[in-house]
Chains A and B, each alone.
Chain A
Amino acid sequence: MAVFRTLLLIAGWCCSLVHAAELVVAVGVQDPAQVAMQGQALPSDMPGFEMVALNEDIAREICRRINARCSVHYVTVAEILPGIESRRFDIGFGNFLRSPERELQVAYSDAIWHSSSRLVGSPAAAKTFAGKLGQAVTLDNLRDARVIAVDGSQQRAFLQRIAGERGLTVIVTPTPVGAINALRDDSADFALLPILNAYALLSRDNPQQLEFVGPAVADRGLGGSVHIVLPKQQDELRRSVNRAIAAIRADGTFQRIVRQYFPLGLN
């Protein structure tokens, strides 16, 4: 028993030497108003609440699993990658798809879910452009339209690439809510958004003014696996985060968090 007590004392002494890591977590907001609500609980009726809450819950669960003390900051998506690169943030949640350009800036965790992109617009705009095009509007045949996308997103990068060829006018907004507002006030014809963000916003659109236009797209960098971003040369942190992701998937925590905000699994 004396030996056991001694071992316990030594173990306790060792544990006291281990300090929890201090990490700064950036969560991409859906609405500019959320940036001003640092440290507060977001109202559940706030547009885009689901995406922010989902990311924040997953971030906090991962922090708990890696024994880190995390401070969560609400920022626009465009700020996250530079913030990670400059080491202002340690972990970034912004529903990031992989791209070669981003690979140069940051490191990626294992996939947390999969996503695609889809046009959103009003039925009237869809009808008008269908008339112009002579067929139902899709991302592949859209021409001469004003299309809005979130700054720093893959959707924006894609639109920039095809804008000249298609005669598109690309409008940039810092958040998905900004894109939806632009559609409502007719400053844009369509928005190209990640499907999950668009769903979260459209499902609150009452009365229904906007709808999905055309089929979803998952190729050309507009879909695929979604990742948490981390600073490069932080392999140990990346491995810890990956272990935490695997753990919360394995014990069902991840699925329970998703089900709090969305009616289906994200895998």
Chain B
Amino acid sequence: MANPPDHNRISANRAFALLATAFALLFSAVVALLAFDQHRVLEASERLQQETVPAIIRFQRLARNLDQLRQEGERLFSSGTPEGRQQSLFIVMLVASHPSILDHPQSAETARDTESFLVETSRLAGQDPTLLKARHADWLHYSRRLSLLVDDLSVQGASLATDDLGDMVAVMRLARIKLIGALVLVGVFLLLMMALLRHHLIRPLQRIDHTLSSLGVDQPAPEFPDVRLTEIHAVEEATKRLHASLVSNEAARRELELLANRDGLTGLINRRHFMLMAESELQRAQRYGRPIAVALGDLDYFKRLNDTYGHGAGDAVLRTFAALLSDSVRQSDLVCRYGGEEFAFLFPESSVEQARILVERFRQRFADHDIQLPNGLLIRVTLSIGLADASHCPIEIALQRADFALYEAKRLGRNRVIVAEETI
């Protein structure tokens, strides 16, 4: 998969800073909107408290005073004595002189007219009480005018509160809509942010975690889809490099192991590795009562060959021997260069007799094999072999017995296989 160029990627720091800035701006805008509405509500409340309520109280006071004016007028007409009428008239004058009435032109005019009418009525009644009845019809006109004014003022006062409260309710409703809108907006933003986080951060991290969990030399090189965050891309690239490093290290390890376990000249396993593996095979065979045999072989007159043809010839003989040996033994058999021109054999699942047949066949084959020296000369080299059973003793004892048998084979004239006695 082709990855985008680096300049198309964005740093996680920058991405989160952008997200945080966007969220802060959005939230600030929402808070500012709500604060503006709250300010309007506070303004309306303050106006209600500082202006409207006092105005309502003034209207109520005015209406009450006008109504008292009307009631005192009624009392003047119903009073049977001049003193009673005079008292009512004084109260009428007092009320009509009240600043709340004087400050309201319509009320002031109405009160003034009413007072004049009642003063005149009181004066006429003092001269002729029967005139009261005649003027009562006119009084009803004044009384109705006062009543209407009282009603108008009451409604006017109440309307002030209604208007202000209506404004407040409208602002609060608008604020509620804005609040819901803000909550939805913030919710959508959070969902979007979570989706972005999941797509650009969580999922890539999960992929990396899965890849790292199963990362191994036997697995193919990891592949990742395209990502936008620089840091994620860097971790993915590091994971790929880690896999390549693991593969490289494994190859080096295998090579080192080969170098540590093999003989450099013949390619056969070395003595140390042979001993480790032989120990293990012997334990297995002895645990399950299976036959197993060991042998030690030594090239005859090898020192004389070196002295005669040189070490290059000796090396060629050893390499030829090893190659021939590899073709002759079974896959389960172990052969190592035990030291110099000496070789050790291990034959799992083989009795001494079966092993003797194998090594005898090989001894014969080797003895009949023409070995070409570096100078082109063809020679033949023989092999002496000592064979011993290893089914019931440690590897060191079995090899010691095989060594004695080898010595016996040398003593008896070489180029032969001698099986060790059961006991030494």
Which residues on A are within 8 Å of B, measured CB to CB? 114-116, 118, 195-196, 199, 202-203, 206, 208, 211-212, 215-218, 223-224, 263-265, 267
Contact = CB atoms under 8 A, between A and B. Distances in A.
**Leading 6 A-B pairs by shortest Cβ distance:** A216-B97, A195-B97, A218-B102, A114-B99, A218-B99, A199-B94
A206 B108 CA distance: 29
Contacts of B115: 215
Interface string B345-378: 0000000000000000000000000000000000
Contact of A267 (B61, B83, B96, B108): B61
Given A203-B87, A267-B61, A114 B100 contact: yes
Interface residues of B, number: 23
A211 B116 CA distance: 13
B102 A216 contact: yes
Contacts of A264: 65, 68, 91, 94-95
Given A203-B87, A212-B93, 15 more contacts: A114-B98, A114-B99, A118-B97, A199-B94, A202-B90, A203-B90, A208-B86, A212-B97, A215-B115, A216-B97, A216-B102, A223-B102, A264-B68, A267-B61, A267-B100
B39 interface: no
Contact of A116 (B68, B87, B97): B97
B396 to A, nearest CB: 92
Given A265-B64, A267-B61, A199 B93 contact: yes
10 contacts: A116-B97, A195-B97, A199-B90, A202-B90, A208-B86, A216-B96, A216-B98, A218-B103, A224-B99, A267-B100
Main secondary structure of the interface of B (DSSP, over half): helix
A216 B87 CA distance: 18
Nearest to B95: A264
Contacts of B68: 264
A206 B112 contact: no
Nearest to B89: A211
Interface string B84-126: 0011001101111111101100001000100100010000000
Given A114-B99, A223-B99, A264-B65, A215 B91 contact: no
B122 to A, nearest CB: 10
B98 A116 contact: yes
Contacts of B83: 206
B110 to A, nearest CB: 12
Interface string B40-78: 000000000000000000000100110010000000000
B394 to A, nearest CB: 90
A218 B100 CA distance: 9
B86 A116 contact: no
Given A203-B90, A264-B95, A215 B112 contact: yes
A217 B108 CA distance: 11
A118 B92 CA distance: 13
Contacts of A114: 98-100
B99 A116 contact: yes
A212 B118 CA distance: 13
A86 B16 CA distance: 73
Contacts of B64: 265
A203 B92 CA distance: 12
A36 B87 CA distance: 30
A263 B91 contact: yes
A116 B102 contact: yes
